[in-house]
Structures are given as C-alpha cells and as structure tokens.
Structure 1
Amino acid sequence: MIQQVAPVNLVICSGEPAGIGPEISLAAALAFLERQPAANITILGDPSLFMGLQSPSSPNPHLSITPVSLVAPVKLGHLDPSNAQYVLDILNIATKGCLEGRFDAMVTAPLQKSVINDGTQAQQGFFTGHTEYLAKLCHQDHVVMMLCANIPAGFLNL
C-alpha cells in the first residue's frame, strides 16, 4: 500500500530587512518549489521588500507573502535599530504558526544581532541569536541548531 504524504507547509522568516534576507528568502522559496512543486511556502515580511526581485513568470498558488509591516523605511545596506522589533515579530509569528500546526517547519534568513540588541534591549534583554530566542519562545532549556547543505531531507523530533 502506498501512503500519501501531505505537502509540506513551510514558513520563511525574511530576516534583516536592509540585508540579503528578503532576496534570499524569495530565491530559496522559488528554488524549493521547483523541486517540490506541491509544497506551500509562506514568506513573512513587508511586501515592499520583495518588489523588483526575481519572481516566477506566472503567479504560484503555492507561494505567498504574508505582510508584516516595517517600523521604519529601509535603505539597503543601512541597518536601522528601529526595525529590530519587526525582525522579532517575524520570528514570533512563524514560531506561533509552527506551534499551532499551521506550518510544518520554519526557515530563517540572516539577521543582525547587534541591531536587534540596539533596538530592543530594554524590552527583550540581550539577543544572542535565533536558536536561543526560539528556545525561549518555545519554553525549552536544551536546544540544538542544525546547519546543513546538500541533503534531500532532514528530520527533527521534539
């Protein structure tokens, strides 16, 4: 008997808005959909960040951008601590979606730790990175980060 496997639902956090995050988020989503066309991918970010970037020749019903509003206008290459909360909001939304079962997995683009610390230290405390932040959101003490390339699949049991 062949068991049907449901398409994977991924969420991509677009990372630092003034850096390469939005561009590589979209590029990664499009590349993944070429190999896994039944997957559903949601990119979290301000839609203005994706204008003018590569896009498929026709709209893809399996790719969406869920709007998360920037706090301050973005100038590429100029980091602004005013948008630190925006970056954390994206991580928060993605984490909540994973915990609630709306997404099967989260992919994160690069962010700038020092900008988050400069912009949110009073509210959040010291930001050491994705891994520790996600552990805190998930109320976990023991965490491990996995970084890999060129593997067809990865499995994680929590």
Structure 2
Amino acid sequence: MGNAVVALALSVGDPSGIGPEIAIAAFLARGAAGLPPFYLLADPVLIASRARHLGVSLPMVETTPAQAAQVFAQALPIVPLAARSIDSPGRPDPANAAGTIEAIDRAVADCLVGDAAAVVTCPIAKKPLYDAGFRFPGHTEYLAHLAARHSGVEAMPVMMLAGPDLRTVPVTIHIALAEVPKALTIDLIVATARITAADLASRFGIARPRLAIAGLNPHAGEGGTMGLEDERIVRPAVDMLRAEGIDAFGPLPADTLFHARARAGYDVALCMYHDQALIPAKALAFDEAVNVTLGLPFIRTSPDHGTAFDIAGKGVARPDSLMAALRLARQLADTNTKAVAA
C-alpha cells in the first residue's frame, strides 16, 4: 500500500448492546475527537436501522479495508458481513452470534495480512454466544485461538487496563476469588511479567519498563503473618524476573500502590487477581480506560466496559472509552511499526 494510511478494524460486538451506537457516535465525533481512520465490520442494514432509531443522520458507505481510510472523512466505512443481524437494542439474541463472531474473525484476519493496522473490538456478551454454541471462555481466549490458527504459534494473552494515569495487569482474571491462591504460581507471574515487559517496550516505546508487583494478601502478607503466598510465590517470581534483567519489584501492599506518588514510580502494576487490578483502573478513569490485550501477534484494544444492554438504544451511551481505544490502537500500531523498522 506504499505510504497509504492503513485503517483500524472495528468489530461491531453484540448488535443488541451499545456497540453499534458508540461506533456511530465515535465516527460522528471523529474530527473533534481526533480519531484515526477506522472501518466497522457490521451488517450495514443494522447500522442504518440503529442510526434511525437514535435519530441521527449518518453518512455511511460499504467499502473494503483498503479503501476505508480514503472515505473516512466523508462517510462511515462499513465492511459488510455475510451474516445478517437483528436490531433488537437491549434484547440479546443468539441469532446475532454468527455476525458477532464473523466480525471478530475478519478483523483479526485483516490485521494479520496487513489490511488493518490493529483490531479494536466493541463489547460482546457471553450468554447469547454460548446459547449459539460458542465454547470459548471469552473474547480474549478466542483471539488467542485465532492467533494460533493463523500463525501456528500458541499465544498467551495478557489483559492490561490502560488509562491516562495508570496501567494494571491482572495475573489471574475471570475466576472466583477463592480459586486465586490455587491458580497463582511462580511460573504464571513470571510469564505474565515477561509478556508485559516485552510489549511495553515494543509497542508502548518504554525502553526499560518498571513493573510494580502487588502482593496477594493484605500488607503483602506482612512477613507470612497474613498468608504465605507472598513469600512462597510472589517474592520468588520477582527474584526470577530481576535475575533476567526485568525491572520488577515487590511484593508490594496493594492498599498503598495506587496513589499518585506511588504511581510515579512504575509503568505498570501487576496485580494478583481481577478486582485488585480493575478497581483502581476504573476508579481513576472509568470513561477513558482501555482494555489492551498483550502477547498477541497483532494489536487489540477494546473499551473497558460491557454491552450495557440496559441502556442500549436509548441514546445515552458514551463513546469515550471506544474513542480512547481507537486512539491507543493507532498509537501502538505506529510505535510497533517504528520498532520493527529499527
């Protein structure tokens, strides 16, 4: 494509959620928000229907990934899906599962062949997908499956929440709190930290990332008086990382890890469980935080919220997190391109 701009691929997510309308809102705000060119993988009939439902005038055009950037200033580029979608805001329907999955599949395929600069995903809901036969735990695991299917190399995806003032990575993610101590291992912490450090260097342009490692227990176990996991699992993992030359330190008490002075001392906080990472990230930047998947052979970002079926179709969904995800995806793609060229 020479010097032509390669657009971002945006998958529509669950059509019954707010994905279609935040995509529309982001496009309509593209100039004022400084958004990079993107194209939407969706059923054009659905998008036109949702725009009418919301009472907005939406210029849109069916196009190809290669042509998307050229038409972005005038109209929303839509790369049409083969699957049709039912426009039922707030009422998830398993009949929409085929389109939801097709959009993700094609976004990843476009990115891997260079037709898209990065993958940005609108939120999906698991139940309608499960009802239609989908058997992956969630979005991230499915993306790892697609990466392996296309490249033949198994990927370990790492979830990172990135906001203006804080980046956090949960080492364990969607498991019950009671299961965390059993799932947490030295190897898991080390592998997660390695991927995090590598992607912060190659995609975020941080030459020597500083990794703050949170303890599992209150006060990071306080020398073993509040649980032994921090001394037996977390500390040995930190020692291994430091021996490899990774600037990691901890275990640190999580209750003092996220205030402004503490945040100035690290580039990312590795947390031992889901809420330990997501509560501070969302508290500091609920409308601006972005979900970034590290460890994949392509760049993927997503808004840090769900399908919001309760407000779908009401015209009140804010596109802020999606716009932040689009801007960050472009930034990461540009940084990654420079790193590869160097």
Larger radius of gyration: 2
Deviation, structure 1 residue 72: 5.5
CA contact (8 A) 1:14 1:44 kept: yes
- Per the normalisation by structure 2, the TM-score is 0.39
- Correspondent of 2:86 among 50, 73, 94: 73
Which residue identity lines up with residue 21 of structure 2 in the other structure?
E
Deviation, structure 1 residue 56: 5.5
SS in 2 for 1:91: helix
Which residue identity lines up with residue 140 of structure 2 in the other structure?
T
Deviation, structure 1 residue 70: 4.0
SS in 2 for 1:43: strand
Which residue identity lines up with residue 61 of structure 1 in the other structure?
V
Query: Which residue in 2 is equivalent to 1:18?
Result: 16
- Correspondent of 1:7 among 5, 8, 16: 5
CA contact (8 A) 1:45 1:69 kept: no
Kindly provide the CA deviation profile for residues 65-96 of structure 1, in whole angstroms up to 9, marking residues without a partner as x.
Answer: 11114445332211111221211111001000
Residue 155 in 1 paired to residue 332 in 2? yes
Deviation, structure 1 residue 130: 1.5
Q: Structure 2: state its 5+ residue gaps.
A: 62-69, 149-153, 164-287, 289-323
Structure 2: how far apart are the matches of 1:58 and 1:83? Answer: 21
How has the CA–CA distance of structure 1 residues 13 and 72 changed in structure 2, closer, same or farther, with 3 Å as cutoff? Answer: closer
Residue 61 in 1 paired to residue 85 in 2? no
- Correspondent of 1:128 among 109, 121, 137: 137
Structure 2: how far apart are the matches of 1:41 and 1:65? Answer: 9
CA contact (8 A) 2:17 2:90 kept: yes
How has the CA–CA distance of structure 1 residues 34 and 120 changed in structure 2, closer, same or farther, with 3 Å as cutoff? Answer: farther
SS in 1 for 2:332: coil
CA contact (8 A) 1:13 1:25 kept: no
Which residue identity lines up with residue 93 of structure 1 in the other structure?
R
SS in 1 for 2:119: strand
Which residue identity lines up with residue 102 of structure 1 in the other structure?
D
Structure 1: how far apart are the matches of 2:107 and 2:125? Answer: 18
> Percent of pairs identical after alignment?
36
How has the CA–CA distance of structure 1 residues 35 and 112 changed in structure 2, closer, same or farther, with 3 Å as cutoff? Answer: same
Deviation, structure 1 residue 6: 5.6
Deviation, structure 1 residue 98: 0.3
CA contact (8 A) 2:10 2:39 kept: yes
**What is the CA RMSD across the aligned residues, in angstroms?**
2.9
Query: Which residue in 1 is equivalent to 2:156?
Result: 142
Structure 2: how far apart are the matches of 1:146 and 1:29? Answer: 25
Structure 2: how far apart are the matches of 1:56 and 1:71? Answer: 20
How has the CA–CA distance of structure 1 residues 58 and 84 changed in structure 2, closer, same or farther, with 3 Å as cutoff? Answer: closer
- Correspondent of 1:41 among 38, 41, 65: 38
SS in 2 for 1:145: strand
Kindly provide the CA deviation profile for residues 10-58 of structure 1, in whole angstroms up to 9, marking residues without a partner as x.
Answer: 1111111111111112222343454447x43110111122222534579
Q: Structure 1: state its 5+ residue gaps.
A: none
Between stretches 99-108 and 139-148, larger displacement belongs to 139-148
Which residue identity lines up with residue 45 of structure 1 in the other structure?
A
